Chain A
Amino acid sequence: MKNKNETKKYVPEIPQKEIEELRNSIKTTSQKIIAENIERMKKTSKNRAKTMQYFDENANFFGQREKEIQAAKASGKKVIGYMCMFAPIELILAADAIPVRVNSGWYDASKLGDRIVPVEVCPIIRSTIGAKMIGLSPYLELSDALISVLTCDGMTKLSEILSDYKPVWTMPIPRVKDSAHATRFWREELLATKAQIEALTGNKITGKRLRSAIELTQRATKAFRRLQDIRKGAPVIMGRDAMLVNQTYMWDDIKRWTEKTEALCDELEKMAQQKMWACPPDTPRVMITGTPMIWPDNWKAPTLIEEATPQGVLVADELCSSERLLYDPVGVDEWTMDDMLNAISERYLMASTCPCFTSEDGNEDRINWLLTKVKDWKINGVIYYVVRGCMLYAMEYTRVKRVLDRLNIPVYYLDTEYTREDVGQMKTRVEAFLEMLSARVDI
């Protein structure tokens, strides 16, 4: 083995003192932003479910959950981080490890990432690199290994950069999913990852364990779908609150998350009966789709929509940081090891509507799913949210717009960056769009 520093491929030399300073300052800002965001969410919602309290607390990155994971690690558990929602959580759970999603939403960290990659790169990637450089994200720091699914160009190179710090297991994903060899290939990748998880944790993934892991995530999906169904009606929960619930799934204990979400749904159903709406029922119903939005910093687009005058309410989204994370269940035919693995591999590959896929008919799956959402959630308008550098989402916009135009659903292309500077002009754009929507709703 060579000198450790020589093996570093990307990491710049930064003095320890500077790292500490940067970490402390960004952490302090972030804690302020988390508190502020939650405060604003509480203010926006006229009637806010009391059970949201749990998720508000859980939303604190530097709080209870971090200590819990630390304690679990001290008792010998392993933590496995993942970047894309294609990572097989069930396998991680079955090996008695803790899955956490480690993409970063910190605006300030993305500026640090500029020291390694150029500014044209997607800010999520830059921010994740930046967060790692200064050890900002508690979950990324606690991870023993990372699963990186090579969905977009950014993720592909991100895994290379992060491998300077931690073991990274890459899972290349076939870009055309609709073929037998694609499924076979992805299944092989899954088996390789399974072997790596087993080697890291020292726990063998047995059929019994895998089954209970699958049942655990199925229950989570059930709770999640219940929440989504409630949102089909008049708004009893603001979109940001629901998005926060979904986001906390990425680091929370899944069993507890499921219980709390069920409790939240119980309360929301009661509120719906008493007609305690979170905002006036005639508020324009907006769906957001596009680049993932990661808690805590990158919360500006939903905040702008729901705090604008006229107000809009997010009743659905098609984001891999939110609804796509959980909507599809693992459907097992026979509870044999073989079929469980098949089911897991297909749930991640085939059910996904990520724009990284293409097909003869132009990623029809995502288009169809968007159309279903528009109809089932009675959407008045769609905001197509893209951060600069996010090629896949940006390039699919024209197609999505054309299809939605046919349904006479207005779409607005909202492009932005990981920065707070454009909030003012974004506000103007969002409000103009909502103005138009509410005029249409009135008609």
Chain B
Amino acid sequence: MAMEIVGDVLRGIIISGLLLAGILVILIWVKDKTARISTLRLFVQIAFVPLLFLGLLIGPFGMPQSPQVGNAPREVLLGADILGHTFPDGISLPVLACWYPSGRTVTCPVWQMQAYIFPFWNAGPGFGWGTFYSSSGIERLAILMGIFIVMALVLGRFFCGWICPFGLYQDLMIRVRKLFKKAHLNFSDRTSAALRQSRYIIIAIFLILSVILGSQAIFGAQLVPDTQPGEYFYSYFTAPFCQVCPMRSLCVLLETGLGFMDANFVFSNTHGAFYEVGYYVTSLNLIVLGVVTVVSLAYRRAWCRICPLGGLTALFSTFAPFKRVALMRLHKDEEKCTKCGICKRVCPTQVTEVYEEKGGDVTASGCMLCFRCVEMCPYEDTLKVKMAGKTVLKSRNWLEPSESE
């Protein structure tokens, strides 16, 4: 037993060491290419795609739930064991790294929350989702939220701006639009604020739905037919948000297109002609993806305005009492600011707090810490990114007309 733990720790150290070395090599290689923050961010975003979907590179490519070609890579890579609690779904990062397709190395916490609430009252360990859980839902939920809150406190919505692959997808849409030299549209400040608040309504809706659909396990009575364990909708509807999330269809379509998933299997695992519900993709998923794609061609980072995951991360990093201890903050020096409005205009999620607030800590819940404002602020030292009180990035005199874009 002890030897196994030592072995696990050693393996973990070696893997993370290799990853770090890889990141360092890439960073050094792109150093002069990424003097600009936005270029650096693009590199980091791209670098994280293979990291998040590392399983695709090393195979074998089983189904996430019931591996048919041997063990799914995530079981080798990230099936975690935390204080005796088996986490076959892996650890989650606050990014939309979809649970459904094969090959991912981390899990989306939104999926985990919904899935773990389902057997919430089902105290004993057991099987769910075709995987063995050694502990009850409430224990797993506690660990999940514990890790989630810690990550939100350390990096906050930095995950959204720099790591989330769906953010990268929307940034690519921005680049597509730029190719056609079209200007973006803006939501009015009121709409923008309303969208930001809608994130919490979405969270509430999917949590309540998880409970209702999991009523069999919770109340011993079935509120919606066919949702009993083993019945048709059981495995589909216990994660209600995932039935509309655009990332699921994007991941599945991309991986199927690249040949990492079997198209016949993916699209046969559905109910009805238009994937009304499907194990891998529903018609809602596809519609939402289509809408989000079109809208993010017009509005920058459209999905991020309503993303419940971003809302959750913001909840634990920009609202009291969490904001007092959150480490990554955006800071503004009131005296150096001439209110030129650049920060407001360049913000991809139309955050107005950085511009409007007088000074001090200006981290806002809509801010995904992409630091575009810090990059574009023309007054030295006015905007600063502080990590645990230490300045890691600050605005500088950028006046060298850029050749990029």
A and B co-occur in one complex: yes
Establish whether residues A365 and B342, one from each chain, have CB atoms under 8 Å apart when the complex forms: no
> What 1/0 mask marks residues of chain B from 371 to 393 whose CB sits below 8 Å from any chain A CB?
01000101000000000000000
Partner of B335, one of A225, A338, A347, A371: A371
Establish whether residues A346 and B400, one from each chain, have CB atoms under 8 Å apart when the complex forms: no
Establish whether residues A346 and B340, one from each chain, have CB atoms under 8 Å apart when the complex forms: yes
Is A368 located at the chain interface by the 8 A CB criterion?
yes
Is A333 located at the chain interface by the 8 A CB criterion?
yes
A343 touching B345 in the complex, CB below 8 Å, given contacts A335-B405, A350-B340: yes
Q: Return 12 A-B CB contacts under 8 Å, by A number.
A: A177-B339, A215-B401, A328-B340, A331-B340, A331-B342, A331-B346, A335-B178, A365-B337, A365-B338, A368-B335, A368-B338, A375-B335
Interface residues on A, range: 35 or more
Establish whether residues B184 and A334, one from each chain, have CB atoms under 8 Å apart when the complex forms: yes
Residues of A within 8 A of B345 (CB): 331, 333, 339, 342-343, 346
Is A203 located at the chain interface by the 8 A CB criterion?
no
Residues of B within 8 A of A20 (CB): none
Is A438 located at the chain interface by the 8 A CB criterion?
no
Is B25 located at the chain interface by the 8 A CB criterion?
no
Partner of A351, one of B340, B372, B400, B405: B340
Bound-state Cα–Cα, A334 to B405, Å: 8
In this complex, the member of A214, A218, A328, A329 whose beta carbon has the largest number of chain B beta carbons within 10 angstroms is: A329
Establish whether residues A219 and B335, one from each chain, have CB atoms under 8 Å apart when the complex forms: no
Is B182 located at the chain interface by the 8 A CB criterion?
yes
Bound-state Cα–Cα, A8 to B81, Å: 90
A350 touching B399 in the complex, CB below 8 Å, given contacts A328-B378, A334-B183, A336-B181: no
Establish whether residues A334 and B178, one from each chain, have CB atoms under 8 Å apart when the complex forms: yes
Q: How far is the CB of A329 from chain B (nearest CB, A)?
A: 5
> What 1/0 mask marks residues of chain B from 317 to 336 whose CB sits below 8 Å from any chain A CB?
00000000000000000111
Residue of B nearest to A351 (CB): B340
Residues of B within 8 A of A329 (CB): 378, 399
Q: How far is the CB of A55 from chain B (nearest CB, A)?
A: 21
> What 1/0 mask marks residues of chain B from 172 to 192 whose CB sits below 8 Å from any chain A CB?
000000100111100001000
A225 touching B397 in the complex, CB below 8 Å, given contacts A337-B183, A346-B345: yes
Residues of B within 8 A of A371 (CB): 335
Is A57 located at the chain interface by the 8 A CB criterion?
no
Residue of A nearest to B339 (CB): A365
- Which of A's residues lie within 8 Å of B, judged by CB? 177-178, 180, 183, 207, 214-215, 218-219, 221-222, 225, 328-329, 331, 333-339, 342-343, 346-347, 350-353, 364-365, 368-369, 371-372, 375
Residues of B within 8 A of A331 (CB): 340, 342, 345-346, 376, 378
Establish whether residues B341 and A333, one from each chain, have CB atoms under 8 Å apart when the complex forms: no
Partner of A219, one of B182, B334, B397, B399: B399
Establish whether residues A353 and B178, one from each chain, have CB atoms under 8 Å apart when the complex forms: no
Bound-state Cα–Cα, A255 to B226, Å: 75
> What 1/0 mask marks residues of chain B from 157 to 178 whose CB sits below 8 Å from any chain A CB?
0000000000000000000001
Residues of A within 8 A of B335 (CB): 368-369, 371-372, 375
- Which of B's residues lie within 8 Å of A, judged by CB? 178, 181-184, 189, 334-342, 345-346, 358, 372, 376, 378, 397, 399-401, 405
Q: How far is the CB of B293 from chain A (nearest CB, A)?
A: 19
Q: How far is the CB of A167 from chain B (nearest CB, A)?
A: 31
Residues of A within 8 A of B341 (CB): 183, 346, 350-351
Establish whether residues A328 and B401, one from each chain, have CB atoms under 8 Å apart when the complex forms: no
Bound-state Cα–Cα, A337 to B405, Å: 14
Residues of B within 8 A of A372 (CB): 335-336
Q: How far is the CB of B171 from chain A (nearest CB, A)?
A: 12
Establish whether residues B378 and A368, one from each chain, have CB atoms under 8 Å apart when the complex forms: no
Establish whether residues B346 and A333, one from each chain, have CB atoms under 8 Å apart when the complex forms: yes
Bound-state Cα–Cα, A219 to B401, Å: 7
Residues of B within 8 A of A364 (CB): 358
Q: How far is the CB of A254 from chain B (nearest CB, A)?
A: 14
Residues of B within 8 A of A347 (CB): 340
Bound-state Cα–Cα, A346 to B378, Å: 13
Partner of A218, one of B346, B372, B376, B399: B399
Establish whether residues A368 and B399, one from each chain, have CB atoms under 8 Å apart when the complex forms: no
Bound-state Cα–Cα, A365 to B334, Å: 9
Residues of A within 8 A of B182 (CB): 336
Residue of B nearest to A339 (CB): B183
Q: How far is the CB of A15 from chain B (nearest CB, A)?
A: 49
Residues of A within 8 A of B336 (CB): 368, 372
Residues of B within 8 A of A369 (CB): 335, 338
Establish whether residues A353 and B338, one from each chain, have CB atoms under 8 Å apart when the complex forms: yes
Establish whether residues A351 and B376, one from each chain, have CB atoms under 8 Å apart when the complex forms: no
Residue of A nearest to B182 (CB): A336
Bound-state Cα–Cα, A178 to B399, Å: 25
Establish whether residues A225 and B340, one from each chain, have CB atoms under 8 Å apart when the complex forms: no
Residue of B nearest to A178 (CB): B339
A222 touching B178 in the complex, CB below 8 Å, given contacts A328-B378, A331-B346, A351-B340: no
Q: How far is the CB of B185 from chain A (nearest CB, A)?
A: 10
Residues of B within 8 A of A334 (CB): 178, 183-184, 405
Residue of B nearest to A219 (CB): B401
Bound-state Cα–Cα, A364 to B356, Å: 12
Bound-state Cα–Cα, A328 to B337, Å: 11
Establish whether residues B400 and A222, one from each chain, have CB atoms under 8 Å apart when the complex forms: yes
Bound-state Cα–Cα, A225 to B378, Å: 11
Bound-state Cα–Cα, A180 to B341, Å: 11
Bound-state Cα–Cα, A339 to B378, Å: 17
Residues of A within 8 A of B340 (CB): 328, 331, 346-347, 350-351
Establish whether residues B183 and A346, one from each chain, have CB atoms under 8 Å apart when the complex forms: no
Q: How far is the CB of B396 from chain A (nearest CB, A)?
A: 11
Partner of A350, one of B184, B334, B339, B401: B339
Establish whether residues A221 and B178, one from each chain, have CB atoms under 8 Å apart when the complex forms: no
A338 touching B378 in the complex, CB below 8 Å, given contacts A215-B401, A343-B345: no
Bound-state Cα–Cα, A371 to B358, Å: 15
Bound-state Cα–Cα, A222 to B401, Å: 10
Q: How far is the CB of A261 from chain B (nearest CB, A)?
A: 13
Residue of A nearest to B376 (CB): A331
Residues of A within 8 A of B339 (CB): 177-178, 350-351, 365
Residues of B within 8 A of A338 (CB): 183
Q: How far is the CB of B301 from chain A (nearest CB, A)?
A: 13
Residues of A within 8 A of B358 (CB): 364
Residues of A within 8 A of B189 (CB): 180
Bound-state Cα–Cα, A333 to B335, Å: 24
Establish whether residues B184 and A328, one from each chain, have CB atoms under 8 Å apart when the complex forms: no
Q: How far is the CB of A358 from chain B (nearest CB, A)?
A: 13
Residues of A within 8 A of B181 (CB): 207, 335-337
Q: How far is the CB of B233 from chain A (nearest CB, A)?
A: 45
Establish whether residues A368 and B376, one from each chain, have CB atoms under 8 Å apart when the complex forms: no
Residues of A within 8 A of B338 (CB): 328, 350-353, 365, 368-369
